[in-house]
Amino acid sequence: MNPLLQCLCLAVTSALLLAPTAHAEPAYPVRPVRILVGFSPGGSNDIVARLLAPKLSEALGQQVLIDNRPGAGGSIAADSMLKAPADGHTLMICTTGLLTIQPLLQKPGYDPRTDIVPVSLIANTPYIALANAALPIRSVPELIAYAKAHPGELHFASSGNGTMGHLAGEMLKLRAGIHIVHVPYKGTGQAMTDLIGGQVSLIFDQPISSLAYAKSGKLRVLGVAALQRLQSLPEVPTFAEAGLPGFDPVAWTGLCAAKGTPAHVLARLHLDLVQVLRQSEIAQRLVQDGMQVVGSSPDEFREFLVAERRKWAAVIKEVQLRLE
């Protein structure tokens, strides 16, 4: 080859190698990342977010900030995320109520199936049934037998109409063929107080907010709605073990982004989140709080959401639940 032509070819090749490609992906993240939590500080979803934030900060190389936007069952947080640029710097902790239950009961102003993009399912939290310790009920079979012998006498509390605690009670009524009366409260705190005081008989709740009452002897855990016993409650049988396999209310916590978030950003977030969840100190803390660590792919999370919506839609339709 002509020496001059050879030098020209080398120069062109070097320039092409050094120049940025037309399809280069923008850097991410380039500033602090906000994770919106649609509930007040101290709740289970807030606890999970604050547990993960420091480790995600290390993985992403930018500070991860938790921003609580309580109200409307998480819809205020969702609205805030959807109004922010869809670049992965504003994310949200998504929950059972926000993406599966509330949209079945009322129109939230956005489409949870298309406007909110799943990143990863973080953890599942099977609900547990707890009874006032003074009741002559020590297991799920005894609960069902008592309810059938005394229809309408047992009252179960929840933190409000249309909440997971409410729907868990309705699901039990359907699966077990019993009649227990729902008593809604404006939050779990007063419901727990009245349950301990004997004003109501039962509650369906997450372990993270109720285990302390059970361990103190003020309440009695009857069963857990999981495929396997919880490591934090190894002595408590599952509802399936108690002869009621169709009772499976599970709260879950996931990480979501807004529609339009670039694919490479979603992939980075998923990869880093799963690596954080695999860290023993994180996994052990979640298990200790009664959760089951997941860390699913976006596609697995999306399939899970479809199944959850189908399950709760059937329950809501069967009990003809309507919110005022």
**Tens digit of pLDDT for each residue in 56-67?**
999 999 999 999
* Alpha helices by DSSP H, the chain: 3-18, 44-60, 75-83, 96, 102-105, 140-149, 164-176, 188-197, 207-215, 263-277, 280-288, 298-319
Residue 289: the pLDDT is: 87
Residue 204: the pLDDT is: 95
- In this prediction, residues 205-228 reach a mean pLDDT of 88
**Residue 115, pLDDT above cutoff 90:** yes
**Residue 78, pLDDT above cutoff 90:** yes
Closest CA to 191 of 166, 226, 224: 166
Q: pLDDT grade, residue 11 (50/70/90)?
A: very low
pLDDT tens, residue by residue, 266-311: 999 999 999 999 999 999 999 988 899 999 999 999 999 999 999 9
Residue 23: the pLDDT is: 58
Q: pLDDT grade, residue 324 (50/70/90)?
A: low
116-126 vs 64-68, strand pairing mode:
unpaired
Minimum mean pLDDT among 184-188, 269-273, 291-295, 319-323: which range?
319-323
pTM of the model: 0.83
> Residues of the chain with pLDDT > 70: what percent?
92
User: How does 288-324 read in b/e, with b if 16+ C-beta sit within 10 Å?
Assistant: ebbbbbbbbebeebeebbeebbebbeebbeebebeee
State the angle between helix axes of 298-319 and 164-176 in degrees (0 to 180), rounded to the nearest 10. 60
Mean pLDDT over each residue of the chain, to the nearest integer: 88
Residues, the chain: 324
Dihedrals phi, psi of 221, to nearest 5 degrees = -80, 125
250-258 vs 90-95, strand pairing mode:
antiparallel
